[in-house]
Structure 1
């Protein structure tokens, strides 16, 4: 037996007790998973995972996702030991204010963390997105004798991950897509936070994943490093199915609380830490002890990573000489740079009283952009014909099939199926991988199914574009189950999410420009099913005003309004119609299109004041949604025509009339405001 094998228990226990001491010092955290899962993590990180601790963003690296994010102490131990920029002092400040080792892993906060995890199931679906990313890039760029994209995605998942519905949705799609470079290590400790897993989770997990089309292996001893290594080797050999390795572990291994839910989410306590260290033959003192032999062994990852990256860079240089155009394109994608001239063919829509739905305008815009923007890739939850988000002529992302010549991993239309939650999380994985500006699409009402990935994309500052169509009760006969009322307000409440609801085809074109230019946060485009008049921009302000979030479409004489009408989306044409009638009655009206609160809030105060002057208190907002949030723009003396109940099943024109979205009703509400304002000055 060589020295490495002899010392392997020491190496594994180094991971275990760094994690235990981290949790104990913080008096907060999850010690159970690191104690049980350390052997499989050790084996993966030292024998299989290609990574460079001194360059965590090396594009050719393997990706590792700790989907069981509550076990973050395990990941921080690995990152510190293998040489990432995470010092011992950092991990001693686990879960403290300003620490680089927060309670759950956060992308962009801790070097080496690929994606933010903690909400269970999300990380697994992110990993599937990363595997899709690798498959697509390999299909698009690799050439015979020039393989520049060739890496694997690994995830460590828990019982909780597999119980969450998002994991089921995503795993089903991964099996269909035959993602052979994806391997999930399942920490099968058979204990949840509240009890043994058998109180809720008795299904045969291996058979379930086999039915999804996965390759599965069962390991009875989670401490058997040789067996884990062999299983990882077999997973690498399996190239046409994703792999799930079910590793039977013991939560809180070696502690008095082993195999009890009490080891899951609370520190062991000083006495149990002492007993655990004694049980596993580890020094009780000092805390955070790292044997020199263990540190030297783990730090071999630094030199190994440098060599792996150097070899990849050499291959990339040869590729650049052989295929300069492809190399230039790939490099731009790696740098997240849009190609030159990507927006040259975006259409300008002529004025048209009938117009077209903003979903239709968006479909024309995206198809004008996509041929010149190779990083743009995505799809819908089985709704392409309705969301108008199919990229025409650019192929479907699916396993290559000789019988279906259009099927290829190089295709840019991803068919997610009716899996909104997984769709959002997978798209996050594509963005986190790098090299993509991914989008997803569904009806606005079904954004509710996607709330966790929407929030996580905003938290991670991922450049993801959500396309939400059928944006109001004006979709008509489908009724209240499909008519969004509170969804727009809900999306606006998410920090760092840019929400844009364009008023016509030309605002829609600008909205797509903004969505693709925005790099530090996700964007939600809110689009109509019904036709919207294309405004005459010779008569009204240019659609580029959308970039300001709110802009004056038409104004009162001398720019001194008595009344301000504000709207977004389909209701903008309604307030313009009302303004014409009010002007005939001698009322000085300003109409403001307000497609994006977030863009407007980014303006300097003076510019916001120029659009919505404080002195004009008679303000009426008109929007097919709840009032929530509009108070900041209409003020104490303003009014909001919205929808505070659920919708109904009827033709759109009937619904709009019954809910008061008519020129006559807008005028009546506006004149009521003016009457109140006049009374206040008497």
Structure 2
């Protein structure tokens, strides 16, 4: 049961949350003061009465998770972290939104201790919260006791609910019955442009009822109602909880109360002074009264006791379950065998095939070696070939399996996978067609920003998917994804490179990897006799060296087009050229190599040609202004793949003629 704090100290704490937000935003002359003021009571009740955390052990695996999806209200979270005793001193709050501070405009998980996920792009935090809750269920099903009581508390605003990603993720949560998730809806009826009625008139509670959630309506400033709603939500079984909390933005401000201006601008010195007077606040700026320190110290005592009790249960569980405890350690460490690449090379499929099929065959070996691998597809598993064979599907009340069914919800899939990765222990993967990476790009970008190990498996990687036509045929997607910092984009040409793709992705602990796999069958690449497979792991490498000395021409191709380069090389060398073929398996990994390797592989002064079934112009920045760039700079067409190859000049004959014409 929540502790009954002294009412005066509790009210002083709530006013401290409000004044810290006002002071920080005013000093920065930038930010969002109104929402933290309106959510102060809810945040206070969650953090002092229910949320299990330990600032001395912020990564305690048995802790609850708190997600502020409306990340523009970041001063609410920073205030709570400071008051709760996390390593976020008051000077950081005073340095809000400034260079090199731990209090950026929106919370960033990789920067600030205690921030569970990066929020700001609205709706993403809701999806991450669903991912957290799902991950807790997956852990509980595998290991039991250590995760039996893990809950997720989240807050979302009008903007979060308007963004489609939250609806996709919430639908998944309702379908799976994630009863360890409690989401507060900050129903303050204000957005940047004015009242929400300008563009938003739906009944959010009824929508969430339709999703399968347990829905309550409360006054978000009434502490008794807040506590009663949380108690009912915690008691609810088989459904996630949605609490519609009617609040008032800039609550307590005499003039800014319920105004759009309070959403995203400082209140101003006069309004702050008037607000503090109305609150009975007579302290200097950025003050935390001793009574407030004492209250949160009491909460720290409670949390320490809870953590110690958990440790006692955890130690007993480990003693009684030695083998399972070792599995948990490996799971949490996301252990990957040091010789993974060598093991995958031994298990490579022999026959020529589409890389989506080859990837699935390799994935089965990976799944046996890496238990942390859990994921699924956006209703495309028969096409993306991403099911883990012999494993059950994840369903309501059934969380032992490894195959997720995300439904036709690419964006939601991405945000949920990010939450799963952030929870720890799980290496999630989400799969769809490469063209639909556009639907989930914000989630992919955030996985890179948050430095999370997530696998984005995309198939049907070019116009060669055929008759589905230009709506399904990726053109600009390769470089659209390559432009995302900290995202590795791997486009394997055959079984060897597909094994390398899985190896790179599983060895990358601080960033995501996107796969681009073919629908069509690809020939096995004939590499030089002395070829070392480890070279593939350098990103770009020589697949076939020029005959008879240094090359006078270098053909650079990726994935599905590498065989075109090897075929053209054979003909060009018969015509007297010395041609090196370089596989552009992963540009990001290549850029991480030393300058000597990069220069040796693509030496200046040697003519270069790029071959890729997508936008050609970006290759010029890589290979130089004097390079020939063969690709597709228009949308595709509906036709069989062999017809498309001929029409777009992506045959060995066409490539050879283009190169010969350019050289002349």
Q: Corresponding residue for 1:299?
A: 297
* Alignment partner of 1:235 out of 229, 233, 236: 233
Counterparts in 2 of 1:3 and 1:442: CA distance versus 1, 3 Å: closer
SS in 2 for 1:630: helix
State the match for 1:517 in structure 2: 507
Aligned to 2:603: 613
Q: Do the aligned residues in 2 keep the contact of 1:638 with 1:673 (CA within 8 Å)?
A: no
Say if 1:585 and 1:270 are closer, same or farther in 2 by CA, change over 3 A. Answer: same
CA offset at residue 339 of structure 1? 5.5
More off after superposition, 628-637 vs 438-447: 628-637
* Cα distance in 1, alignment partners of residues 358 and 564 from structure 2: 19
Choose the corresponding residue for 1:16, options 6, 15, 18.
18
Aligned to 2:366: 369
Aligned equivalents of 1:212 and 1:304: distance in 2? 35
For residues 279-333 of structure 1, give each alpha carbon's deviation from its aligned partner in whole angstroms, at most 9, with x where no partner exists.
22112x5111211001111133333333322222222221222111211111122
More deviation, 104-113/146-155: 146-155
Instruction: Select which of 425, 433, 452 maps to 1:462.
Output: 452
Shift of 1:629: 2.5
In 1, Cα distance between equivalents of 2:132 and 2:146: 18
Q: Distance in 2 between matches of 1:218 and 1:359?
A: 48
* Alpha-carbon shift at residue 673 of structure 1 (Å): 3.5
Deviations 1:465-494 (A, max 9, x none): 000000000000000000000000100000
Partner of 2:288: 290
Aligned length: 661
Q: Write the mapping of 1:193-212 to structure 2, written as runs, cut at 5 A.
A: 193-212=192-211
Question: Is the contact made by 2:128 and 2:417 (CA closer than 8 Å) also made in structure 1?
Answer: yes
User: Contact 1:148–1:316 at 8 Å: present in 2 too?
Assistant: no
How far apart, CA to CA, are the structure 1 residues paired with 2:452 and 2:191? 31
1:527 aligns with 2:526: no
Query: What secondary structure sits across from 1:570 in the alignment?
Result: helix
Could you tell me how far apart the structure 1 residues matched to 2:365 and 2:32 are? 50
- Choose 319-328 or 463-472, whichever is displaced more: 319-328
Q: Corresponding residue for 2:35?
A: 33
Residues 528-607 of structure 1: pairs in structure 2 closer than 5 A: 528-537=518-527, 539=529, 541-607=531-597
Q: CA deviation at 1:182?
A: 0.2
Contact 1:52 1:301 in 2 (8 A): no
Task: Please report the RMSD computed on the Cα atoms of aligned residues, expressed in angstroms.
Answer: 1.7
CA distance, structure 1, for counterparts of residue 117 and residue 5 of structure 2: 35
Q: Secondary structure at the match of 1:279?
A: helix
Query: Are residues 258 and 378 of structure 1, via their aligned partners in 2, closer, same or farther at CA, if it must alter by over 3 Å?
Result: same
> How far apart are 1:558 and its partner, in Å?
4.4
SS at match of 2:500: helix
Maintained 8 Å contact 1:552/1:592: yes
Contact 1:563 1:674 in 2 (8 A): no
Contact 1:349–1:506 (Cα < 8 Å) also in 2: no
Residue 659 of structure 1 aligns with which residue? Answer: 648
CA deviation string 1:29-79 (max 9, x = no partner): 001101111000000000000000122111110000000100000000000
Report the alpha carbon displacement of residue 6 of structure 1 after superposing the two structures with TM. 3.5
Task: Decide whether the 8 Å contact of 1:357 with 1:505 is kept in 2.
Answer: no
Aligned match of 2:378:
381
Conserved? CA contact 1:348–1:506, under 8 Å = no
Instruction: Give the 5 Å matches for 1:411-422.
Output: 411-422=401-412
Deviation at 1:603, TM superposition (A): 0.6
Shift of the 673–300 alpha-carbon distance from structure 1 to 2, 3 Å rule, reads farther
Q: 2-side partners of 1:621 and 1:541: how far apart?
A: 22
**Aligned-partner Cα distance in 1 for 2:516–2:146:** 40
Which residue number in structure 1 is paired with residue 438 of structure 2? 448
Maintained 8 Å contact 2:9/2:295: no
**Match for residue 313 of structure 1?**
311
Q: CA deviation at 1:148?
A: 4.4
Q: 2:190 aligned with 1:191, yes or no?
A: yes
How big is the shift at 1:595?
0.8
Give matches, 1:229-268, under 5 Å.
229-255=227-253, 256-268=255-267
Q: Once the 2 structures are TM-superposed, how far is the Cα of residue 147 of structure 1 from its aligned partner?
A: 5.0
Shift of 1:260: 1.0
How far residue 2 of structure 1 moved from its aligned partner, in angstroms, is 6.8
Deviations along 1:630-680, one digit per CA (max 9) or x if unpaired, are 1233212111001000000000000010000111221122223433xxxxx
- Cα displacement string for residues 88-134 of structure 1 (whole angstroms, at most 9, x for unaligned residues): 11110000000100000000211100000000000000000000000
2:251 counterpart SS class:
coil
CA distance in structure 2 between the partners assigned to 1:2 and 1:451 by the alignment: 46
Counterparts in 2 of 1:351-366, with a 5 A limit? 355-366=352-363
CA contact (8 A) 2:336 2:369 kept: no
Moved more, 146-155 or 124-133: 146-155
Distance 1:548 1:339, change over 3 A: closer
Distance 1:182 1:628, change over 3 A: farther
**Distance in 1 between residues matched to 2:243 and 2:643, nearest whole Å:** 56
Residue number among 133, 136, 139 corresponding to 2:135 in the alignment = 133
2:273 and 2:448 map into 1 onto residues whose CA distance is: 41
TM-score relative to the length of structure 1? 0.94
Q: CA deviation at 1:150?
A: 2.5
**Cα distance in 1 between the residues matched to 2:654 and 2:623:** 18
- Between stretches 386-395 and 300-309, larger displacement belongs to 300-309
Task: Give the secondary structure class of the aligned counterpart of 1:154.
Answer: strand
Offset of 1:584 from its aligned partner?
1.0
**How far off its partner does 1:341 sit?**
6.9
Q: 1:238 to 1:183 in 2, by over 3 A?
A: same
| Shift in Å, 1:228 | 0.3
